[in-house]
Amino acid sequence: MGKTTIKDVAREAGVGIATVSRVINGNYPVSDAARQRVQAAIAELHYRPDGIARSLKAQKTFLIGVVIADLSNSFFMQLVKGIEKTLSSSGYSIIIADHEENPFKEQQIIEMFLEKKVDAIVTTTCQTEASYFEQLRRTDVPIIFVDRLIDGLDMDTVTEDNETSSYDLVSYLIDCGHRRIGVITGDLHVHTSYSRYLSYVKAMRDHGLTPDPRLIVHEQRIECYEDVRSMLCSLSPEERPTAIFATNNKRAESVLRACLDLGIAVPDTISVVSYGNISLPWLFSLKLTHVGQDLVRIGQETGEMVLRKLISPHAGHKEYTINSSIIYGNSVKFLNSKLPKQ
């Protein structure tokens, strides 16, 4: 039996060859009924499109390069899942690499993607200057920022409302009676770390509180356990924070590990909240109060933005902001009798 061809699929589905091509490439609209017949015929005949021929004909590789910060972080993997789900339905595949918060490595990865002739690039950038991406405009390869952006650079972006969510989370701690509130944040040159940290400072000051520098940990590395532990060990029990705001899930895990190793009870001694949920909450026997992130949705919106840019590459840039809400758990101790609104 010879190799199944696109003509065989068209004959089996009762449609034209052009319709089969549209379903495979996802480049033109097709009715749901026709799409289902074509997909059923492809499955029945075990048809596998010739990727090389397809790329040469369309002058596209149908590959999207995705650069994330940390492959081991569940946040980014869920994000990638949403991107892949959206793009695969339109015939695209993704290549994933992580820059590990290293700007030079991010540039190397992007250059490698460009050499592979990807059709677009998605990045959770760790660059702090706009100059590199300004140069990339000459390549005509769409670049989409997700989760992070560079101030002053007009690029297509999908981000969360980091400022409002962080402000509300710190304000919740204050409403619960906490005054000595620490923060564990990352490189302040990175947009998400900077905006969440500024919101912490603003919430404190708006409530008449002054952040204590001894309760602030800035760590550029992904792993910050040692820094959190050092901060807690350097302070007497009376000087320690009664609550800590971790600006992402990995930092929250470092806080919880440090408290566990030092015999500090959460939330009885120190309350903990986070922007984003920890990956294995059952390990710590608590439900973390955190900013809930619809990661798959963020990924899907990013995938949709990629597709729009591929259809209209010279369209103006678009910024899409997703609002998040606080998910209340049992990781915060109430220090006053008046319960805050939830």
Of 266, 263, 203, 190, which is closest to residue 233 (Cα–Cα)?
A: 263
Query: What does the DSSP 8-state code read for residue 247?
Result: S
Q: What is the pLDDT of residue 52?
A: 45
CA distance 224 to 185: 9
Q: Out of 3.40.50.180, 3.40.440.10, 3.40.50.2300, 3.40.50.300, select the CATH number for domain 162-293.
A: 3.40.50.2300
The pLDDT tens digits of the residues spanning 285-312 come to 789 999 998 888 899 999 999 999 988 8
- Helix, strand or coil, per DSSP, at residue 264: coil
Query: What ranges do the domains of the chain cover?
Result: 6-57, 58-160+294-323, 162-293
Bond from prior residue into 103 cis (ω within 30 degrees of 0):
no
246, 249, 254, 256: CA torsion to nearest 10: 80
Of 305, 240, 241, 320, which is closest to residue 273 (Cα–Cα)?
A: 241
Of 48, 249, 280, 273, which is closest to residue 170 (Cα–Cα)?
A: 273
**Are 6-57 and 162-293 the same fold in CATH?**
no
The pLDDT tens digits of the residues spanning 208-237 come to 999 999 999 987 666 789 999 999 999 999
Q: Which CATH class is domain 6-57?
A: mainly alpha
CA distance 43 to 46: 5
Residue with tokens 């696109």: 6
CA distance 134 to 153: 8
Cα 87 versus chain centre, distance: 16
The pLDDT tens digits of the residues spanning 233-243 come to 999 999 999 99
Average of per-residue pLDDT across 329-335: 94
Q: Which CATH class is domain 58-160+294-323?
A: alpha beta
Length of the chain: 342
CA distance 248 to 62: 33
Find all residues with CB under 8 Å of 331, minimum gap 6, and list them.
Answer: 266, 267, 271, 272, 273, 286, 287, 288, 289
